[in-house]
Structure 1
Amino acid sequence: MTPAEPATMSEAEAVAEAEGRPSSGGMTLHSIQCMRFVAATVVVIYHAYISFVPAALAAPTVGAAYAFGFGKVGVHIFFVISGYIMYLTSFGRPGRFRTGQFFLRRLVRIYPIYWIFVALYLAVTAMLGIMPLLSPMQFAGMLALAPASAPLVIGPAWTLSYEIYFYFVFGIIMILGALRGTIALTLVFVGSIAVGMVLHPANPLAAMATNALLLEFCMGVWVARITTRHALPRGIGWAAVASALVLYGAGLAWGYDRAPSAIVWGVPSALLIAGMVVLEQTGRSGLMRRLSWLGDSSYVLYLCHILLITLVLALLRTMGLAVPLALLMIATTVGAIVFAALFHAAIERPLTALLHRAISPRRRLVAAA
């Protein structure tokens, strides 16, 4: 028995867990899948903009740079979703939480695909003559997603360091149970953030462990707990989504760099996720259901897009081309989405399912018998 795979877990639920799809009662939560895709896509658009402005010989305006900077919100949506999924897959079904199996499932979900893309990045950058020179310690830290080294090859991988740290703390604390664990998790993160505000630690690990971004994971955990234990009316869902949009707009208008991002972007992201889940629970899931499949490859999309941008930039330099910025951004974003979907279907999905089955206690018991 595992935290995400109690003895009563169905085959459909097991496959969903292996692919990283949040499910409840064997049914995929299409709202969460859609938001995973949206979060990854806005990050891609933001990185495409800041990368292609020089290549397109376009002078970035302050207003455009600020507006595209909104794409950073995708990271905050991801963090809220991560907290939501961890609670849902651990406590959304009957079964005892087991820290060991929780860690195994998280490591299998994150590291193998990440290492594949590290190899791809190193191969491509070596071919282009721009491969980063890393010391053995830096290389080991990068592979382990240590905070100081995680972004040395894949820039956006710094967020995975936060994911790994959250998994570590969640896996230990949630042995207390759903409610007591959620309260304790929140208190630990709030306390560590308060310490960080006083000490301002310079050590990368300590700085991460005291960063206010950790609150966004807690927000996701609380959203999952509330929406799985209470049948909220549809009006609450619409109100939460509307409030999120208003707060996003207010952050843009007021200045999203004038306050901690956990407040400016984290709070509306939590409201957005809560509202979308409630709307799906109350029957408003038609569009979400049609777009849900795009969320399956969101992890690959997040990992691959900088590599594709790098290849496009190299091609532009080699051919001496100046392509309109809008065309570059659209083509690269669409290309990244297509590549991610194909990679997910051909490699990520079968590999993760295989590894998931390999660590399944039930499968091992059957094999031993």
Structure 2
Amino acid sequence: MTNGGRYSLLCSAAFLVGGALRGKSVNEIHSIQYLRGLAASAVVCFHINEQFNGPFAIGAAGVDIFFVISGFIMWVSTVDRPVAAQRFMWQRIVRIVPLYWIVTLLTALAIFVKPQFLFGHVLSPANFFGSLLFFPMMQNGSLHPVVIQGWTLCYEMMFYIVFALSLLLAKKQRFGALIGAMLAMVAMNFFLLQGYPGAFTSPIVLEFAAGVVVGRLWMKDIRLQLMLALALFVGGFLLLMTAQMLDPEMPRVLRWGIPATLVVAGAVFAERASPFRPMALLTFLGNASYSIYIWHVLVAVVVTGIMLRFGVPSIWQQASIAFVSIAISAALYLIVEKPLTGLLKSVTRQKPAAGQAAV
């Protein structure tokens, strides 16, 4: 083979490898799965620690990591795989809504039977049906659904709608329009300070936009040296841990949104620079992260009651409740979420026209 032939072959191989990396499934980006599991577990620990008046406020930043990851996943999973806006929304509804409705119904029943065990939860007909439709009651200017942690899903669904609308545009226009729309929404927040308009234009939505930016850079096959990527990752975590102490009044999108973006960007680009074999447990926790997040408050209430009944020493209660709650919520992923989502997806594949009509 001539030198020119060898050069062409090497270029072709490099192009194919690069394309394979760009087209990598989100589920195969192991650092994203790990971060999803970490974020869900951090929120669990935050809520349980809060009940014990502990200092683990940083755990709430798991939500911000989730939002950045959501923007990243939506961009990476659609930019090179054209999907109709209706189809995209149907897939998101199948993924999010059924389990959320189940947990909302069970939480409402628990509040009705034992309201003293779910302090701070508000159950009323308006809030119940509003929660199901992602328009829960407002409390102190914030969204307050029956499933308290479900406020984040209201923002997720809003982001999905904006993202679905961007899919109606040509590929070249999509990124600019999407980021522009998110920025415009936040700009409107200065004039829409009351009720739902003010809530849904909160600057926290910029965390989705940040994830989209990271996803675009990833799909452009941008590469960072491993040490630089790790510096972003570690620096992001250090900022998460220190920003709350330095200025707890700092706007959340600055206090936790920017560090969360650095953590996600550092993780995915470090993995690109130095791929690694996945760890089964961490991958499982990532897959189960939605169930861990949505079930954990209800599960923790039950676990707490059982531990008190059996007289678990107070020194062990907090860690035990967190560990058992995460374990049970993860098990519910296998028992409830995975079979339910699989069933709904199979129905959707069999009757795609009906599914799109429903949207």
1:201–1:279 CA distance, 2 compared to 1 (3 A): same
- Out of 77, 94, 99, which is 1:89 matched to? 77
Partner of 2:30: 30
Whole-angstrom distance in 2 between the partners of 1:42 and 1:117: 20
1:97-147 deviation digits (Å, cap 9, x = unpaired): 310001100111111011111222233333425586744332211111214
Give the match for residue 314 of structure 2.
Answer: 324
Structure 2 counterpart of 1:167, from 160, 163, 171: 160
Corresponding residue to 2:99 among 113, 138, 142: 113
1:279 and 1:285 in contact (8 A); partners too = no
Q: Which residue of 2 aligns with 1:245?
A: 237
Where does residue 78 of structure 1 map in the other structure? 66
Instruction: Work out whether 1:124 is the aligned partner of 2:110.
Output: yes
Q: C-alpha offsets along residues 126-179 of structure 1, whole Å, 9 cap, x if unaligned?
A: 342558674433221111121436634211001110001000111102322445
Q: TM-score, normalised by structure 1?
A: 0.80
Structure-2 separation of matches of 1:302 and 1:110: 12
Q: Which amino acid aligns with 2:126?
A: M
Q: 2:346 is matched by which residue type in structure 1? A: R
| Structure 2 gap segments, 5+ residues each | 1-22, 355-359
* Residue 332 of structure 1, CA deviation: 1.5
The worse-fitting range, judged by mean Cα deviation, of 294-303 and 344-353 is: 344-353
Which runs of structure 2 are paired with 1:206-355 in the superposition (5 Å)? 206-233=197-224, 234-255=226-247, 257-286=248-277, 291-315=282-306, 319=309, 323-325=313-315, 327-355=316-344
Separation of aligned partners in 1, 2:235 and 2:171: 28
Q: Which runs of 5+ in 1 are unaligned?
A: 1-22, 54-59
Q: Measure, in 2, the Cα distance between the counterparts of 1:148 and 1:329.
A: 30
Q: Does 1:186 align with 2:179?
A: yes
How far 1:350 sits from its partner (Å)? 1.6
Deviations 1:344-365 (A, max 9, x none): 1122112102211222378779
Sort the Cα spacing of 1:127 and 1:290 in 2 relative to 1 into closer, same or farther, 3 A.
Answer: closer
Cα 1:316–1:126, aligned 2, differ >3 Å: closer, same or farther?
farther
Secondary structure of the residue aligned to 2:128 is helix
Partner SS state of residue 189, structure 2: helix
Whole-angstrom CA distance in 1 between matches of 2:307 and 2:335: 29
Letter in 2 for 1:75: V
Distance 1:249 1:33, change over 3 A: same
CA RMSD of aligned residues (A): 2.6
- Offset at residue 308 of structure 1 (A): 2.1
CA–CA separation in structure 2 for the residues paired with 1:25 and 1:300: 21
Provide the rounded CA distance (Å) in 2 between the counterparts of 1:27 and 1:44: 23
Task: Measure, in 2, the Cα distance between the counterparts of 1:138 and 1:104.
Answer: 24
| Deviating more after overlay: 121-130 vs 224-233 | 121-130
1:341 alignment partner AA: A
Residue 180 of structure 1: how far off its partner (Å): 2.2
Q: What is residue 9 of structure 1 aligned with on the other side?
A: none
Q: Map Cα deviations across residues 15-38 of structure 1 (whole Å, 9 max, x no partner).
A: xxxxxxxx8248622111110011
Paired residue total: 324
The alpha-carbon deviation at position 239 of structure 1 amounts to 2.6
Query: Judging changes above 3 Å, is the alpha-carbon distance between structure 1 residues 361 and 183 closer, same or farther for their aligned structure 2 residues?
Result: farther
- Measured at CA, do residues 125 and 303 of structure 1 come closer, stay the same or move farther in structure 2, by a change above 3 Å? same
1:201 equivalent to 2:190? Answer: no
